[in-house]
Structure 1
Amino acid sequence: MTERDVRLGTVQETLLIPLYGRAVENRKKEAVLRDAVAEELVAAIDYDFARFDGLPMLLGTVLRTSLFDRWVTDFLAEHPTGTVVEIGTGLNTRYERTDNGQARWFELDLPDVIELRRTFFTDTPRRTMIATSVTDKAWADTVAAQSGGPYLFAAEAVLPYLEEADVRDVIDLLADRFPGSLLALDTSGPGHFDTQDQPGSLGKVDARMQWSCADPARLAEWRPGVDVLASDTFSSLPAPMYDELPAPVQEMVTGLAAQRLPQVEDYRLNLVRLPRGSDGE
C-alpha cells in the first residue's frame, strides 16, 4: 500500500487507536484476534502511531472488538443472510474477520473517515459504505431500501462521544425503523467517564466522551421494551471468550476482577434487543 496522510476531525482521530491496537496484537505469537489487514493499514498511513505505545487501552480496544466480533458471528450463524450495519466503522475490518459470504453489510461513518476508508476498501454488491453522521436519519432510508432483516447494528466506540439527546435520537431511529433488531454498543459510566483526561486513557487525543451512562438498563427508560441481553466488562468477559484468551490476558482479566477498579467496572460492552413493535411491546 502507498503511504497516505491522515486528516481527520477530533473525534474521528480516535479510530486510529483501535486500528493500531489490532495491528500490535496481530504481531504477537499468541493473540486475542488476528488482523493482518490492520498491520497493512498502519504501515500505509502517515501518522505517529508510536504515541499510543504502552497504553493499557490498546488491549482494551482489542478485547472490545473481539467481543463485538463474537456477537456478529453468532448473529450470522443464526441469520446467514441478515444485515450488519457498522455505525462509526472507522478503519475496522470486521467484514474481513467475520463475513460469511452471504450477509449484507453497511459501513457508516462521517465523510472524512469514509474518504480515507475508500482509499483502502471498495463497495461491492454486498458491502456498501455510507458517508454521513449517525444522527442524520437519511442513512436509515438507504439501509432499509437496499436490504432486509434481521439486522445487527454495531456501534463500537461511537455513542459515548455523542450528546445524550443525540444518543436518544439514534436509539429511537433504530427502534422505529428496525424494530426487534440487535444493537451492540459500549457505555461509559462515571468511574470510567471521569478518567478520560488521564494519560493512559484519551489523554493522547483531543476527543472527549459526552454521554455518561451509569446503567445500560436505563435505555429501557428511554425506549420501553429495550432488552439488555448482555452487559460485560473487561473484568467479566463471557466464559467462552475468556477460555480462548492467551494465558497472559486471562491473568490480566482475573487481576482486574480482583481489583474492581471503577474505571474498568463502569465501562460496559452491551448487546441489546430493540423493541419489536412501535408501541415498545
Structure 2
Amino acid sequence: MTQKIRIKTGTVEETLLLPLWGRAYETQKSNPRLVDQNAVEIIQQIDYDFSDIEKTQSMSQHGWVARSLHTDKMAHGFIEQHPEATIVNIGCGLDTTFSRIDNGKIMFYELDLPDVIALRQNFYEDSDRHKSIASSFLDTQWFKDIEVRDGLLFLAGGVLCYFNENQIKTFFIQVADYFESCDFYFDSLSPMGMKFAKKQVLKKGGMGISMDGGWGLKPVNALEKWDKRIQVINSIPMSKGMKQGIPFKAKLASTIADMLGVCAMVHMRISHC
C-alpha cells in the first residue's frame, strides 16, 4: 500500500486543502458542475481528516467551484485569442487548472512558496510547458523566469486577500514596469467578505492558521486609481450564472452575497497604451 502524504496542520499547507476538497467533492456528485478528476486523485493520496471541512463548508464549497468555473471560462477565452499564451498561476497551491484548460500549446507556470511547490511535487512533474517556480510572488526576481511568446495572463485564486493593499498595489505596479502588457484574473473580497472568510471558512473548517489583516477591495474600480496603466475590464459577482443545481438555501445566501458585493471575479488589464 502506498504511503499517504501528510499535511502540516496549522500552516498555509492546510488551507490549500479547502478548494481542493471543494472540487473533488463536486466531481463525485451525480450531476457535477465541475469535473476535476485530478483533484479526486490528489485527495485520495493525502493523509488528512476532511470531516470538519465536509461538515462546515457546504456554502463555501459552492464558491470554490464557482471560482474554478469562472477561471476556466476566462482562461479558455484568453487562449482562444492567444493560442500560445503564457499563464502564471500565482499562489497555485494544489490547483489543477492546467489539466482542465491545456490546449497543447500554452506555457503554464505554477508559482508558490517553496514548501508548497515541494508538496505539489508529490503529485505533479514539471514538463517543457508546465513549470514550477518556488517563490513568493512578492519577490519579483521570478519575473525573469517567465517566457512570453503570445499573450500573458496571471491567475490568482484565493491568494491576494491574504496580503495588505500596499503589497498588492506595489506588486501590480512592478508587473506594469516589467511586462509590456498582461491580464489578471482574480477573486476579490470586500471588507465584509474578509470577515466572513476568517470566521466561517478558516475557523469553522478546523484550520489552525490565523488570518490577520488582509485585503478587502470595494469598489473594484478603485484599482484604476493606483496607476494609469491599470484598467478594470469587468467585475462579476462570484455566484453570477453559478446557481443552477445548488440547494435553495445556498442560492438564497449566494444571491444576498452577490447583492452586497461580498466576493467578485475581477478581470484587470495592465497596458502601456
Confirm or deny: 8 A CA contact 1:3 1:44 kept in the other structure: yes
Q: Distance in 1 between matches of 2:163 and 2:74?
A: 23
SS at the partner of 1:168?
helix
Paired amino acid for 2:53: F
Confirm whether residue 249 of structure 1 aligns to residue 246 of structure 2: yes
Per-residue deviation, 1:27: 0.3
Q: 1:59 aligns with which of 62, 74, 84?
A: 62
4+ long deviations beyond 3 Å:
250-254, 256-262
Paired amino acid for 2:182: S
Per-residue deviation, 1:207: 3.7
Confirm or deny: 8 A CA contact 1:228 1:272 kept in the other structure: yes
Deviations 1:160-202 (A, max 9, x none): 101222111221122122232110111111221122343x322
Partner of 1:202: 202
Deviations 1:23-47 (A, max 9, x none): 0000011112100110110110111
Partner of 2:233: 229
CA shift in 2, pair 1:133/1:260, >3 Å? closer
Partner of 1:36: 37
Segment of structure 1 superposing worse, 86-95 or 52-61: 52-61
Deviations 1:115-140 (A, max 9, x none): 01011111111111000100001111
Q: Distance in 2 between matches of 1:67 and 1:101?
A: 21
Q: Distance in 2 between matches of 1:260 and 1:82?
A: 33
Per-residue deviation, 1:9: 6.8
Paired amino acid for 1:234: M
Unaligned ranges ≥5, structure 2: none
Partner of 1:110: 113
Segment of structure 1 superposing worse, 14-23 or 168-177: 168-177
Confirm or deny: 8 A CA contact 2:257 2:263 kept in the other structure: no
What is the TM-score when the length of structure 1 is the normalising length?
Answer: 0.87
SS at the partner of 2:67?
helix
Number of corresponding residues? 266
Confirm whether residue 177 of structure 1 aligns to residue 178 of structure 2: yes
CA shift in 2, pair 1:257/1:157, >3 Å? closer
Unaligned ranges ≥5, structure 1: none
Per-residue deviation, 1:249: 2.7
Alignment of 1:1-281 (within 5 A): 2-7=3-8, 10-54=11-55, 55=57, 56-143=59-146, 146-198=147-199, 200-203=200-203, 204=205, 205=207, 206-208=209-211, 210-235=214-239, 237=240, 242=241, 247-249=244-246, 255-256=252-253, 259-260=256-257, 265-274=261-270, 276-277=271-272, 281=273
Per-residue deviation, 1:227: 1.6
CA shift in 2, pair 1:31/1:118, >3 Å? same
SS at the partner of 1:196?
helix
Confirm or deny: 8 A CA contact 1:87 1:153 kept in the other structure: yes
